[in-house]
Amino acid sequence: MQLVVGRIGRAHGIKGDVTIEVRTDEPELRLGPGAVLATDPAATGPLTIESGRVHSGRLLLRFAGVHDRTGAEALRNTLLIAEVDPEELPEDPDEFYDHQLMDLDVVTADGTEVGRITEISHLPSQDLFIVERPDGTEVMIPFVEEIVTEIDLEEQRAVITPPPGLIDDQAEIVSSRDADSAQDETA
């Protein structure tokens, strides 16, 4: 099975280094020297990692055969794809691969059906579950500990405790203006 483990960013310097937007929790395993990665677009690869280092908090990689800025710039926005055994699990029991989460049933803590995970969107600040509801509509659920309280792979479900308004129209609207007018009425 193939997993996207990174995206090539801009060139860094003149010797062929590129910045990497890491999309794996195990970069030392997936993005180490000698790793051969498939690419999207496929015509760009496969790419073999020659060397890597961290500079100012960013991962920089150099690929075999890419030894100048022009070659590095040509790789920009290419997705890096690793071949992974589908039975392999992350080391941390609270981490999951996307393929493990796809098609899980999403239910609230009281057992109310919300829908099924159809997509996982990886945003800079957090990941989102795109959940298709039984009526065909979609709802986005942030994959954060406060909302997604349990992932049960054996039962094939994700348990959530959504705040008001996330999956229904019962949002609590509170503003300082409302609080001020409530104080005026009691005075």
Tens of pLDDT, residues 74-117: 999 999 998 877 676 666 677 787 778 889 999 998 888 999 99
Q: Where are the beta strands (DSSP E) in 64-172?
A: 79-83, 105-108, 113-122, 127-132, 138-142, 148-152, 157-160
Q: Of 99, 102, 133, 136, which is closest to residue 117 (Cα–Cα)?
A: 102
Measured CA to CA, the distance from residue 12 to residue 58 in angstroms comes to 11
Quickly state the pLDDT bin for 157 (edges 50, 70, 90).
very high
Mean pLDDT over 47-70 rounds to 91
What is the C-alpha separation between 17 and 63, in angstroms, rounded? 8
Asked whether residue 175 carries a pLDDT value surpassing 70, the answer given is no
* Lowest-confidence segment of 56-65, 70-79, 123-132, 172-181 by average pLDDT: 172-181
pLDDT of 148 reads: 92
Residue 170 has pLDDT above 80, yes or no: no
pTM of the predicted model as reported, rounded to 2 decimal places:
0.58
Contact 108, 160 (CB under 8 A): yes
> Tokens for 104?
């899980």
H helices of 35-152, in order, are 69-74, 98-101
- State the pLDDT at residue 79: 92
